[in-house]
Structure 1
Amino acid sequence: MRLRQAIVAALQDEMRSDPSVMIMGEDVAVAGGPFKTSEGLLEEFGPNRVRDTPISEMAFTGAGVGAAIAGLKPVVEIMFMEFLGVALDQLVTGAAKMRYLSKGQVSVPLVVRASVGSGSGFGSQHSQTLENWVTSTPGLTVATVSTPQTAYGIMRAAVRDPGPTIVLEPRALYAVRGPVERGESGILRLGKALIARPGSALTIVAMGQTVTTSLAAVEQSGIDAEVIDLLTLAPWDRETVLESVARTGRLVVVEEAPESGGWGSEIVAAVTRELFSSLAAAPFRITAPNAPVPYNRELEARFLPQPSEIARQLTSYLATDSVPAPWWVAEGIHHD
């Protein structure tokens, strides 16, 4: 399946098994979704369960919160992650706090899906990942996907979760093909990372499309690196990451987002705190520069950490046991 088809399959299987699951968002019904991630669902489940909405993210996200409290399991699609900005209050002040404010009496089994990331030529206003908008809110689970199988497994797990869950979908991966095991055995566990590649020389923690670029970089460099697909950002899998770094002695986090405020800072801080005395070298992050995502194809490709740049930094890191400068500093373009 393509990754977008795996998302359709996950929603289809959950809707078949649970009549309380419904979908709402802009163009999700008649058009089958702007990225065809709900294709065919209207025909099978009808307009009561697959609903096109007005162009008002605040309104239909709020409707999703209310529907979840009332007993349904709504899946709300945000076409581009940036559009979630006008509906953040519904999530961070509403959905994320209901269980706490009600002393556990009210649950909000809501899923919010959003396409994210660069690589598709959508320009600076439609190419960000913006996971830092939501990862710092207690009460929200934040997950992402990297392959068709993880898309299927994470989506089904998100729909079944009793609390509000945000699933970030790298749109550059929607067309990627891969095997998908459907059914109960294909469902993944939120909060649990996957080892995408075992290794012993160093640990790479990645998510979304940086899993693919990290694996390509390891192949190019010939380094025996362990690559962890984090999958869930909040809560992230401390046990898997710490166990890996305890074995390898080195940590590199690869992020698509700009350097400032990145999710990898939390992981580097935790590893440094827990494993400082046993580290062979300082942990560090490979990120995008602190700049808007360019529209120009060549510049956009430069923005996202490419396999060659990741391989360069990994090779230098292992050879010197010191943190290499990012390309924009090494080339004298910009100094932070």
Structure 2
Amino acid sequence: MRDEMAADPSVCYLGEDVVHSLRGVSSGLAAAHPGRVKDTPISEAAFTGFATGAAMAGMRPIVEYQIPTLLYVAFDQIVNQAQKIRLMTGGQTRVPVTYLFPGSGARLGLAGQHSDHPYTLLAHMGVKTLVPATPQDAYSLVRSAIRDDDPVAVFLPANCLPRKGDVDVAVTVPIGPAAIRREGTDVTVVAIGHLVHEALAVADDLADQVDVEVIDARAAHPFDWHTLTRSVTRTGRLVVLDDTNRTCGWAAEVAATAAEELFHHLRAPVRRVARADVPMPFAPVLERAVVPDREAITAAILETAKA
């Protein structure tokens, strides 16, 4: 964000307590770019709508939400206003807004109302929706989101925030293409966000039993069907990992489309590992029971490999 603000004076930053960076995401931006980082009132609908107007007037706002569930308060402004204005004006108006959700998803101790991971909702509505899993992708995909002329949502998973790694500022990652993080021949596992790392860990643990290919989707929408198709054509088996509810979730869509379009390549039923269809509990022991874990991933891979 600092690099994009330095390169483009139309980029600005909005959100609650972002000048002093309560969440640490906007640290130093206000000092580096005076007047372009604005604290907003505690009204997500208001400042999300404000960002739409600013984008229509030629700015490129980044909107930070302190808690991912605050998306629900601003949902109309994103999917019914910002997302549709370009179509409603016949392409005459652009709405280049980046919606940033740092710390999205469950991590023990975040509490029930802070632990949703609602990327599926925006993907369902056709909003470009990114969920980076690595420091490099976080850097490069955020830059791509800011430069895009349409609304783009970026969910930064809570379980990925502690990860550190080298970042090459010259590397560009476009919106859409997935990444193969581990090549394999027996089972394709496609995951998104922090579950990519869980999949890689399980794949290493099972290396003497099953050769697992791990695909990092990067984007919930648009989804890279080409990469998935090539992989499933080789392995004949598919497991989908998704940290949202099982019913009507992102994994459900990937599994259903794979069953429709890749059935002649599949040698076993597609399996999903996702959240239970319940509100996120507050108690840590119940939280652990609801979210996908390595045990569930391991069982799904082994069942698929043996089918």
TM-score (norm 2): 0.96
How do 1:213-228 and structure 2 match up within 5 A?
213-222=198-207, 223-228=210-215
Partners of 1:284 and 1:312 in 2: how far apart?
10
Partners of 2:265 and 2:232 in 1: how far apart?
9
Q: Which amino acid aligns with 1:126?
A: H
8 Å Cα contact 2:29/2:37 also seen in 1: yes
8 Å Cα contact 1:57/1:86 also seen in 2: yes
Give the 3-state SS of the residue equivalent to 1:277 in structure 2.
Answer: coil
How do 1:21-60 and structure 2 match up within 5 A?
21-30=11-20, 32-34=21-23, 36-46=24-34, 48-60=35-47
How do 1:223-262 and structure 2 match up within 5 A?
223-262=210-249
Q: Which of 122, 138, 142 lines up with 1:151 in the alignment?
A: 138
Partners of 2:255 and 2:297 in 1: how far apart?
17
Structure 2 counterpart of 1:67 = 54
Deviation at 1:291, TM superposition (A): 2.0
Deviation at 1:112, TM superposition (A): 0.5
Structure 1 counterpart of 2:167 = 180
Give the 3-state SS of the residue equivalent to 1:186 in structure 2.
Answer: coil
Structure 2 counterpart of 1:192 = 177
Q: Which of 285, 295, 301 lines up with 2:288 in the alignment?
A: 301
Q: Which runs of 5+ in 2 are unaligned?
A: none
Partners of 2:284 and 2:108 in 1: how far apart?
9
Give the 3-state SS of the residue equivalent to 1:97 in structure 2.
Answer: helix
After superposition, the C-alpha distances for 1:294-318 in whole angstroms (9 at most, x for unaligned) are: 3233332333222232112211221
Q: Which amino acid aligns with 1:302?
A: A
Partners of 2:206 and 2:300 in 1: how far apart?
10
Q: Which amino acid aligns with 2:15?
A: G
Partners of 1:279 and 1:309 in 2: how far apart?
21
Q: Which amino acid aligns with 2:5?
A: M
Q: Which of 2, 5, 20 lines up with 1:15 in the alignment?
A: 5
8 Å Cα contact 2:14/2:62 also seen in 1: yes
Deviation at 1:209, TM superposition (A): 0.9
Give the 3-state SS of the residue equivalent to 1:312 in structure 2.
Answer: helix
Partners of 1:259 and 1:267 in 2: how far apart?
12
8 Å Cα contact 2:271/2:300 also seen in 1: no
Q: Which of 81, 90, 97 lines up with 1:103 in the alignment?
A: 90
Q: 1:231 to 1:212 in 2, by over 3 A?
A: same
After superposition, the C-alpha distances for 1:274-325 in whole angstroms (9 at most, x for unaligned) are: 1112211111211121222232333323332222321122112212x1xxxx
Q: 1:206 to 1:23 in 2, by over 3 A?
A: same
Structure 2 counterpart of 1:208 = 193
Partners of 1:317 and 1:144 in 2: how far apart?
26
Structure 1 counterpart of 2:111 = 123
8 Å Cα contact 1:21/1:49 also seen in 2: yes
Partners of 2:86 and 2:181 in 1: how far apart?
34
Partners of 2:171 and 2:39 in 1: how far apart?
29
Deviation at 1:137, TM superposition (A): 1.6
Q: Which amino acid aligns with 1:201?
A: D
Aligned-residue Cα RMSD (Å) equals 1.3
Give the 3-state SS of the residue equivalent to 2:95 in structure 1.
Answer: coil
8 Å Cα contact 2:14/2:40 also seen in 1: yes
Structure 2 counterpart of 1:135 = 123
8 Å Cα contact 2:176/2:222 also seen in 1: yes
Give the 3-state SS of the residue equivalent to 1:54 in structure 2.
Answer: coil
After superposition, the C-alpha distances for 1:242-300 in whole angstroms (9 at most, x for unaligned) are: 11111111110011112111111111122112111221111121112122223233332
8 Å Cα contact 2:243/2:292 also seen in 1: yes
Q: Which amino acid aligns with 1:193?
A: A
* Stretch moving more, 303-312 or 264-273: 303-312
Deviation at 1:176, TM superposition (A): 1.2
Q: Which runs of 5+ in 1 are unaligned?
A: 1-10, 322-336
8 Å Cα contact 2:238/2:304 also seen in 1: no
Partners of 2:93 and 2:204 in 1: how far apart?
48
